[in-house]
Amino acid sequence: MKIKYLMAFCFFSAITCSLFAQDEEEPKKGFDKDKLFISGNFGLSFGDFTLVNISPQIGYRFNNVLAAGVGINGIYSSARSRFINGQTASRENYGVVGLNIFGRVYPIQYAFVQLQPELNYTWGKLKEYDPDAVYKLDGKLVPSLLAGAGAAIPAGRGAFIIMAQYDVLQNNRTPYGEKVFFSFGFNFGL
C-alpha cells in the first residue's frame, strides 16, 4: 500500500514540476530596436562666459559587453573680460561643429571604457575694445580622439552616465583643452 502512495506522490510531483517549467525565449536575431539608446552632451551657461552645447548621439547595445554609435557636435562659447571699472575689455567667440563615432566596452556590468574619434570644424573671433581691434580665427578641421572610462548606473530603461575623458591627439585647436574633463548624462533606452 505504501508503495502505491509513494508512486502516486512521485507521479504528481513530476507533473507539478513540469507545469512550472518555462520555455526559454529564443534570442532575437538581427536588428533589435530595444537595444537602441540616445545620449550625448547638452550644456548651457550664460553670463560673462556663455556656453551652448548640443551634441546628441545614438547608439546600439550589441550585447552585454559592446556598444557603439554616432553623433554630431555643436558648441558655441563666448567669453567677455572686463576692465577694473566694469567696462568690456575684450570678447572672444568660438564655434565648433562636427561628427563623431564611439565604441564602448563593458568589462563589468556597470563600468565601461570608451574610444571616440571626432572631426570638428572650429572657428572664432577675438575683439578688443581699447584699442579697437578684431582678430579672426580662420575655420579649420580639427581631429580629436577621446579616450575615457565611466560608469552606467541603471535607471529604468536607461542609465545615468558618469565619464572622465581625455583628448589624446592634443591638437592646438581641440575644443577639449589639455586636461581630463568630466561629463555627466543619461542614456535613454528606446
168/172 Cα distance (integer angstroms):
12
Question: First vs last Cα of the chain: how many Å apart?
Answer: 62
What letter would DSSP give residue 9? H
92-122, pLDDT tens digit by residue? 999 999 999 999 999 999 999 999 999 999 9
> Above 70 in pLDDT, residue 83?
yes
* Structural domain boundaries, residue 66: 2-189
Is residue 34 within 8 Å of 190, Cβ to Cβ? yes
Residue 128's CB is within 10 A of a number of other CB atoms, namely 15
> Above 70 in pLDDT, residue 7?
no
> Above 60 in pLDDT, residue 173?
yes
The total number of structural domains that make up the chain: 1
The CATH number covering residue 148 comes to: 2.40.160
pLDDT interval class at 2 (50, 70, 90): low
Instruction: Show the 3-state SS of 36-93.
Output: EEEEEEEEEECCCEEEEEEEEEEEEECCCCEEEEEEEEEEEEEEEEECCCCCEEEEEE
